[in-house]
Structure 1
Amino acid sequence: MKKTFVGILVTAGLVLTSCGSNEPPAPSEAELRARACEAFATATPGVYETSEAMDILADPGSTTSQRRDAMSMMADKKRTWPYDCDLPSDKARFDKFFIDAKAKWAESDK
């Protein structure tokens, strides 16, 4: 009788551990990238350029020409088209955005 009871407990334990959790699987890197790409495209055109210019102006180590270029970039506001994560000209901005977005999503999942 004892052996049967122990056998049932071991079998039940194996069944329970093999079932896994009720949580959905974590999204893949491709799914996260697609989600970030959609969010990146919704940003107002020029917002990232303005942010970069503000960082340059706030940096005490920036040269005079860097500051001049930053102020010129802010004054010109040439960006009128949406951001695209697949454009080579937006790649560096998207890479930074993606790293920040993944960190925020990881925090919100906790």
Structure 2
Amino acid sequence: MQPNKGLIYLVAGLGALIVLGLAAAAVGIVLKTSGSGFSFFGTTAPTFNNAEVMLPPGARVIGITADGGRIHAHIQGGGGASIWTIDPATGKVLGKMLLKSP
């Protein structure tokens, strides 16, 4: 009986793929359990504490959007309209953009 070299190479290649797959699974398990902060699926949303943002008297919130870990609030008050950029973790106002018409 003649040895079939193609079949031998196929079996060896599939065996190597199985070994590589098991090694990758082992590395993934070690990284997940090591507490290194590594995650295959990105980060989870941070926890949110209660934070207060003080508005001027007579001001009201027209709209809110979130972008890149910051909150942008459209504020309408007695002095005109403005957009506030707020840190959601602390409630600190990072900046204000006053909206004025010409």
Give the TM bin, normalised by the shorter chain: under 0.3
TM-score by length of 1: 0.26
More strand by share: 2
Greater helix proportion: 1
Whose relative contact order is higher, 1 or 2, with alpha carbons under 8 Å and at least 6 apart? 1
